[in-house]
Structure 1
Amino acid sequence: MASRGRRGGVPAREDEPRREEREEQQAPAPQGPVLPPPPPVDYGVFMQGLVQAMQTQAHTQAALQAQLEAQIYLDGAYERCTAGKS
């Protein structure tokens, strides 16, 4: 009883997967309701929306960059105006 072979004392062959390995390889049964396939995608409309989103992002980024540069400029001007006044 000290050996841990298969039932009947016959050891498993190396090329034969063990029962535990076979069970792991099986896909689990789907849980819950099965959903219908998604509707077809109109890639033309999708690409138009993507381009519009990218253009909006570029415009927003340019506006934020301009605002940051203006703020840095104004901060510098404020520092120059108040320098030496205490």
Structure 2
Amino acid sequence: MASRGRCGGAPARDDEPRRDERAEQQAPAPQGPVLPPPPPVDYGVFMQGLVQAMQTQAHTQAALQAQLEAQNCLDGAYEWCIAGNS
């Protein structure tokens, strides 16, 4: 009858740590202070902030686009303005 042991069929000795115990011993200790878990997230407030940020970005982008088009017209790009790109 075959014995259930390590790779050559030899049983593990009592004074040898098992493979899983050695892996736990080799794990590095955490560095620095242990921080508490973060507070729970209110996803409704998070989504409101996200929507507000996206609206602000769209407004800013539209204002910058209008400013660029106005500057192009002032700089003498009349064909571009007359073509309906303003």
The sequence identity of aligned pairs, in percent, is 93
Q: Residue 44 of structure 2 corresponds to which residue in structure 1?
A: 44
Question: Deviations along 1:21-75, whole A, 9 cap, x unmatched?
Answer: x77xx43210111000000000000000000000000000000000000000010
Partner of 2:63: 63
Distance of 1:27 and 1:64 partners within structure 2: 53
- Secondary structure of the residue that 2:75 maps to in structure 1? helix
Match of 2:74 in 1: 74
Distance 1:53 1:27 in 2: 42
User: What 5-or-longer segments of structure 1 have no aligned partner?
Assistant: 1-12, 14-21, 78-86
Query: Which structure is richer in relative contact order (CA contacts within 8 A, separation 6 or more)?
Result: 2
**What is the match of residue 27 of structure 1?**
27
Q: Normalised by the size of structure 1, how large is the TM-score?
A: 0.58
Give the aligned length: 58
> Normalising by the residue count of structure 2, what TM-score does the alignment of the two structures yield?
0.58
The answer for the alignment partner of 1:83 in structure 2 is none
